[in-house]
Each structure stands twice: as C-alpha cells, then as structure tokens.
Amino acid sequence: MSYQDDLQKLLISTPNLQEIFTILRNNGLQEAYLCAGWVRNLVWNNLNQLEPTYLQDNLDIYYKKNSETAEEHQILTTKLNTHHAKYLWDLHNLASPRPHYSKIPQGDSIQEVLTKFPETCSAVGIRLQTNGQFEILAPYGLADLFELKVKPTPVFLATNSMTAFNERIKRKRWTQRWPKLKISKN
C-alpha cells in the first residue's frame, strides 16, 4: 500500500470531513482545497495514536475565485465562522492580491502555492471529488509527512535561513505534541 492510499483511507474514514466539503460546496467553493496544518495534524495524530484535533485546528482553505471582491471574501468568512462555528475557517482566495509582506503563500494555482509552504510535510492539499474520493496534491510527495520528517521546502530556504526554519519549528512546539518527529538539521 502506498502513502497515497494510506492518506485516502484515512481521509475517507475521518468524521466531519464530508461535512466540511459540503459546507464549502454549499457556499460556492466547489474547487476549494483543505491544506497544510489540518491535513498534517490529522496524519501525525493518527500515526502517534492520538485523538484527532480537527475541531481545534485551523481549516486552511485555498481556492481561486476571480470575481470575488474583498468585501465578498469577508462576508463569506464571517458567514462560515458564524453558521459553522465549530470549525476554525481560514479562507485564502488565490485570485486576491496580497501585500508583499503577507506570510500567506501566493501563486496562480494551488499546486504552485503548496510548493511555497515552509515544510514539505505541510505542503499537502486535499479536495473531495464528486466520486467520493479525495484528490491529493503533494508537490514534495507524502513520504516526509508519513515518516514524521520535518524539513524546509526549497522555496522556503531560498528566502529564509535554516535558523529561521528552526525558530519556526520551536515556536510551533511540534516536538512536544509529537515527540517522534524528526526535525531536519540542515
């Protein structure tokens, strides 16, 4: 069995995931991807036999909607956080311009944005397809995620130092939550 199959099986068996994508579809976000920490934490909790934390973790939702205004984006975010408050919605429209100092990765496609995430294990996006299977995007593969390896992406290292990466990992306190993690030293 491959890591892709393992993730597919875990996603299909995860309570609330169908509901999350139904909420997104019902709000005009059929092509939205759930990315980063939520997916990573789901896998790490599963591998460490810990209770899922999907009601405590941000839902980093990435989508591209050219016609959406900043006001419409804010209204949608407020609506989701009001009517579906058990989830922590964090919406990112790839078509919206972001200030150059924004920490949110930018790009023309979800695949491009994923390459700009800080860690390879976090550079994963999922989308529920109409056939009930999940589309999984992972530009750096799934090995680091499933092997509990935390290392910077090449894009992150191109603009940041290894010291900045290590400070980020320390600030996140991941090794306290998941002691089996293997943090990159170089």
Kindly report, residue by residue over 160-176, the tens digit of the pLDDT: 888 999 999 999 999 99
Pairwise pLDDT comparison (58 vs 1), residue with the higher score: 58
Residue of 80, 88, 81 lying closest to 60 (CA atoms): 88
- Weakest mean pLDDT among 35-44, 50-59, 75-84, 92-101: 92-101
Assigned domain for 103 exists: yes
With bands split at pLDDT 50, 70 and 90, how would you rate the model's confidence at 159? confident
Domain that holds residue 123: 3-148
CA distances from 132 to 11, 17, 44, 59, 137 (A): 10, 11, 23, 20, 16
Residue of 114, 169, 164 lying closest to 142 (CA atoms): 114
CA distances from 61 to 21, 50, 165 (A): 10, 24, 23
Cut 0.75: pTM above it: yes
pLDDT at 5 over 90: yes
Residue of 47, 32, 58 lying closest to 125 (CA atoms): 32
Please count the structural domains in the chain: 1
In sequence order, the 6+-apart residues with CB closer than 8 A to the CB of 35 are 60, 61, 62, 110, 113, 114, 117, 124, 125, 126
- Residue 113: which CATH number? 3.30.460.10
Assigned domain for 165 exists: no
User: What are the helix and strand counts (H, E) for the chain?
Assistant: 9, 7
Q: What is the mean pLDDT of residues 5-32?
A: 94
Residue 53 in tokens: 């934390």
Assigned domain for 162 exists: no
Per-residue model confidence (pLDDT) at position 154: 94
- Weakest mean pLDDT among 87-91, 98-102, 175-179: 98-102
Q: For the chain, how far is it from start to end, CA to CA, in angstroms?
A: 30
CA–CA gap between residue 94 and residue 106 (Å, rounded): 7
Assigned domain for 68 exists: yes
Pairwise pLDDT comparison (143 vs 185), residue with the higher score: 143
Assigned domain for 13 exists: yes
